Amino acid sequence: MTSLAMNKPDSRESSGKREAIVSIRGLSHSFARADGTMVTALHDISLDVSAGEFVCILGRSGHGKTTLLNLIAGFLPTKQGEVRVLGRPVVSPGIDRGVIFQRDAVFPWMRVTDNVDFGLRMRGVKKSERDRIVTKYLGLVGLSSVAKVWPRELSGGMRARVAIAAVFANDPPILLADEPFGALDYVTRRQLQVVLHDLWRSTGKTVLFVTHDVDEAMTLGTRVIVIGNGAIAADCSIDLPMPRTDDVIATEHGLALKHVLLHHIGLE
């Protein structure tokens, strides 16, 4: 099966014909600990992501996934190597890259609508246009009934829906997500995976989704990049049919893929 072929990132050919929307070359990053010693978080990462891909970045905690995402988002300065988005080097956060954060980043001092409306307002979009977009996305994530509510009155899962709606309303070509459902219960997480996946399929955005959960990566991704010890340990396309129900993943092919991922993440 071609999908099981483990390719080095540079020799990837399966989707290499299309223009890369995110392009990373020789990216390394290290931090200074409080005592002054340096820790290498990422080591010589090279990676191309094509438009429309749903890339899951899979790995254990503390192995550099979040650092990689923060570099692409522009939260951290690139010290060594290069990160290009839409052909331009990343220097700061920008509206071409929407971010769904690991922790709750919904502004508590704005009502749900104002949170979803925020990016549009910052860009000076006309009020009538904003209202139309906000109503649409609140409906798509199932929050129409709580539009005028303060975030503190919502559950964690509903606040995650607000974050998703806010990002999609702003319509960035690229979406970065850092374990956005990590703190949610199993049922809520599964529901939100469906919400996000449906929105991705209907909008055709490019998604980079960080997770430590193999099942989540297989449910969502068209491609899974395993990060281990700050380097790319594996890069697999997931060519399972969508939607990825449990039955799809439990096929012989799905289980074979899962074993490969488990192997690279450090189990088995």
Partner 1 sequence: MAAADPDLPAVAGPVGGDQLPLWRLEIGRFLVAVAGIAIFLAVWTGAAALMPESRLVSPAKAAEDLVANFVFSPRLDVFGLGDAGYGLLMLYTLKNVLIGLSAGAASGILLGVASVFIRPLRAAIDPIVLVMGTVPVLVAAPLFLLWFGIVPFTQILLVAFYSAVMMMLFSQKAVENLDPIYERSAMTFGATLSQRLRHIFIPGSIPELVGGLRITLASAWGLEVFAEILGAPSGIGQAIKALTNLNNVSGLLACVVIVAVVAIATDALLVLLARRITRWAR
Please report, as ranges, the residues that interact with partner 1 according to CB under 8 A.
73, 75, 92-95, 97-99, 101, 103, 105, 107-111, 118-119, 122-123, 142, 150-152, 166, 170, 187
Task: Please report how close the Cβ of residue 244 comes to partner 1 at its closest, in angstroms.
Answer: 21
Tell me the two tokens of residue 85: 């988005």
Tokens 């396309």 found at:
237
The pairing of strands 231-237 and 223-228 is antiparallel
Measured CA to CA, the distance from residue 244 to residue 250 in angstroms comes to: 10
How many CB atoms lie under 10 A from the CB of residue 1? 8
Task: Please report how close the Cβ of residue 163 comes to partner 1 at its closest, in angstroms.
Answer: 9
Measured CA to CA, the distance from residue 76 to residue 94 in angstroms comes to: 13
Measured CA to CA, the distance from residue 268 to residue 259 in angstroms comes to: 8
Closer CB to partner 1, 9 or 172, in the complex: 172
* Single-letter amino acid, residue 200: W
Task: Please report how close the Cβ of residue 189 comes to partner 1 at its closest, in angstroms.
Answer: 14
Task: Please report how close the Cβ of residue 264 comes to partner 1 at its closest, in angstroms.
Answer: 30
Yes or no: say if 91 and 74 are a contact pair by the CB < 8 Å rule.
yes
Yes or no: say if 254 and 262 are a contact pair by the CB < 8 Å rule.
no
Closer CB to partner 1, 75 or 228, in the complex: 75
Closer CB to partner 1, 70 or 211, in the complex: 70
Helix (H, G, I), strand (E, B) or coil at 73: helix
Task: Report the DSSP beta bridge partners of residue 213.
Answer: none
How many CB atoms lie under 10 A from the CB of residue 190? 15
Task: Please report how close the Cβ of residue 12 comes to partner 1 at its closest, in angstroms.
Answer: 28
Closer CB to partner 1, 31 or 107, in the complex: 107
Task: Please report how close the Cβ of residue 240 comes to partner 1 at its closest, in angstroms.
Answer: 27
Best CA proximity match to 30, nearest among 84, 101, 78, 72: 78
Task: Report the DSSP beta bridge partners of residue 31.
Answer: 39
Closer CB to partner 1, 98 or 254, in the complex: 98
Closer CB to partner 1, 182 or 228, in the complex: 182
Task: Please report how close the Cβ of residue 17 comes to partner 1 at its closest, in angstroms.
Answer: 30
Closer CB to partner 1, 161 or 197, in the complex: 161
